Amino acid sequence: MAAEIHSRPQSSRPVLLSKVEGHQDVVSAALLIPKEDGVITASEDRTIRVWLKRDSGQYWPSIYHTMSSPCSAMAYHHDSRRIFVGQDNGAIMEFHISEDFNKMNFVKTYPAHQNRVSAITFCLTSEWVISTGHDKCISWMCTRSGSMLGRHYFTSWASCLQYDYETRYAFVGDYSGQITLLKLEQNTCSIITTLKGHEGSITSLWWDPVQRLLFSGASDHSIIMWDIGGRKGRTLLLQGHHDKVQAICYIQLTRQLVSCSADGGIAVWNMDISREEAPQWLESDSCQKCEQPFFWNIKQMWDTKTLGLRQHHCRKCGQAVCGKCSTKRSSYPIMGFEFQVRVCDSCFESIKDEDRTSLATFHEGKHNISHMSMDISRGLMVTCGSDRIVKIWDMTPVVGCSLATGFSSR
């Protein structure tokens, strides 16, 4: 089933502790059990499994439960031992896990959606189970009665969800690349605002209620940090992945962001520095450096008897430039560009060597990652994906300090 890889040597990269194998299809979600050497997994093979680490160092399933439909999402509340499993058919099933993690009892079924469930969160204080789905809606249901409290529909598949328990704000990312901020009430909701900045579908969200920061990952390979608490519309762009960003986790104690992409990339971003906002791209009918017309500027092309040029943009200043005025490429990590991007020649000259120093570390997970979660208090991370393998990582070598002090699991 699984094997202990090796002990924890000091290094500057994530340490692979264990691999858990046994699922017959894509592993949709995996969660580390707080304060236990255990993992809960949900898979497209229609099974929920609880894996506990044995004396041999291997993880073996102590619970193996078969569902009626492929499992697509999962939420676990450790204090109450309640687990909510979203399915491909739109239903959410609630179970209660015994204290020794050897038995799982069915509680009830929630008819939350008409299509695949994409994300679930559980709020104990209000006894709500909140979820999003491919039926283009967010729903919130009462876990006492099992009844539907409210629904709100979007124009695209709702793909991911974060929830602020204190204010009852829900953040919903969708396939159009938009994030909607909703205030949920008992039987209704109101739209607070919508956030637009990604060029691809939203694939992951993370809300930090302390600093009031929202992080979003998307299929455009980028991450955006939205400063919700600052109320000034400040956003920071992070580009370093080469595939869609599948999962993100912000470690508030060390001001670091951990992100995983579909190609197995694992990035750790230093957010404890003053970063610069990427500029808005300026629009112009001619190059803002040499004033040559762009190809749609028919009048200037006719007047100057010249062929129109293609428009590009400098990533540092945002100006519209032609290819001849932007022949250089450079990284600029302070603005989030960890790999080389197009800059105009004058901006290239202004970038010093120390400005190119990376503000993130990049590591290889060596499997297709579709989901990631962290036990921040122990510095552990679990990844899973389409290769049916679950990997458990020690992240303490790359997250800066011991996390055990004064920290509890999210």
Torsion of CA 198, 338, 13, 11, to 10 degrees: -150
Total Cβ atoms within 10 A of residue 291: 13
Render pLDDT for 197-217 as a digit per residue (tens, 0 to 9): 999 999 999 999 999 999 999
Q: Considering all CA atoms of the chain, what is the largest pairwise distance in Å, rounded to the nearest integer? A: 82
Is residue 165 a contact partner of residue 122, using CB atoms and an 8 Å limit? Answer: no
> Would you tell me how many other CB atoms lie within 10 Å of the CB of residue 102?
11
- Taking only the tens place, the pLDDT of each residue in 273-321 is 889 888 888 989 889 889 888 877 777 778 777 777 788 999 999 999 9
Look-up of token digits 């739209």: 191
pLDDT, position 400: 63
Over the stretch 220-236, which tens digit does the pLDDT of each residue have? 999 999 999 876 777 89
Q: pLDDT (tens digit, 9 = 90+) per residue, 156-172?
A: 999 999 999 999 999 99
How many other C-beta atoms lie within 10 A of the C-beta of residue 354?
6
Which residues sit opposite 64 in a β-bridge?
Answer: 49
More confident site: 298 or 8: 298
* Local confidence band at 408 (pLDDT 50, 70, 90 cut-offs): very low
- Structure confidence at residue 403 (pLDDT): 47
d(CA 381, CA 403): 13
Angle at 16 between CA 49 and CA 101, to 5 degrees: 25
What does the mean pLDDT of the chain come to?
91
- Going from the C-alpha of 201 to that of each of 174, 238, 249, the distances in angstroms are 6, 16, 18
| Domain residue limits, the chain | 15-278+358-399, 298-355
Q: Which fold has domain 15-278+358-399?
A: Methylamine Dehydrogenase; Chain H (2.130.10)
Q: How confident is the model at residue 7 (pLDDT cuts 50, 70, 90)?
A: very low
pLDDT tens-digit series, residues 319-366: 999 999 999 999 999 999 998 999 999 999 999 988 888 899 999 999
Look at the domain 298-355 and name its fold.
Answer: Herpes Virus-1 (3.30.40)
Q: Spell out the residues 6+ positions from residue 34 whose beta carbon is closer than 8 angstroms to its own.
A: 78, 375, 377, 409
- CA 156 to mean position of chain CA atoms: 18
